[in-house]
Amino acid sequence: MQNGLKQLEKTFIHSSTSIVGNISSTSIVGNIKTEENLIINGTLKGNVEIGDYNLFLGPNGRIEGEVHAKNVRIRGHMKGEIKAKEKVEITKEAAFSGKIKSKSISVEEGAYFDAYVDLDRESPGTGILEETSFEKAIAELVQEPIKPALQIGNFTRWQNKNAYDKAFKRLLRELKAEG
């Protein structure tokens, strides 16, 4: 309250913003395209395209659709797809379900998160590690065939020290014969 008057939330639509669809007092059904940062704390069923700007979905915000932006921060509920040029943040208050493609993503503990994530990789040679299989990585490190291990059993079951020594000596002879 200010001067005894209740402050109402305001909606501003900048001259660089276009909305194609239906607007009601509670939601937008359609697509938003703008060239500025965008904060949504209402309901949108449609797509958002803001290129090199940021989208903030407030705690009361709901989006069902696709978002294209530089950075995206979700505090509300979203179902759909995010394509961010840089970073996506999912806060602990958020609920997200869908697909995400970006260079970086963070998900706070407590958030509902059910998504397929595709992290953009830089091209080889830029200092970013390439994905590889575990087997390929080991082969490249060793650069020679790995010899199979010889099963030697569990020596804790031997009751007699002499039987243990005899079996161990036999094992050493077998290893020398293979080597």
Same domain, 79 and 165: no
Q: Is residue 127 part of a domain?
A: no
Q: Is residue 30 part of a domain?
A: yes
Backbone phi, psi, residue 116, to 5°: -95, 125
**10 Å Cβ neighbour count for 146?**
9
Q: Amino acid letter at 30?
A: G
Domain encompassing residue 147:
134-178
Q: Is residue 40 part of a domain?
A: yes
Same domain, 68 and 110: yes
Same domain, 60 and 115: yes
Domain count, the chain: 2
Same domain, 55 and 82: yes
Q: Is residue 13 part of a domain?
A: no
Same domain, 84 and 144: no
- Computed over every residue of the chain, the mean pLDDT equals 77
Beta bridge partners of 88: 72, 105
* Pair 59, 42: CB distance under 8 Å: no
Does residue 62 surpass a pLDDT of 90? yes
Q: What is the pLDDT of residue 82?
A: 96
pLDDT tens for each residue of 4-30: 554 555 555 666 666 677 777 677 888
Same domain, 78 and 162: no
Same domain, 92 and 147: no
Same domain, 109 and 172: no
Same domain, 141 and 172: yes
Q: Amino acid letter at 69?
A: A
pTM of the predicted protein model: 0.62
Same domain, 109 and 142: no
Going by pLDDT thresholds of 50, 70 and 90, the confidence category of residue 156 is low
pLDDT tens for each residue of 82-136: 999 999 999 999 999 999 999 999 999 999 999 999 988 764 444 444 454 555 5
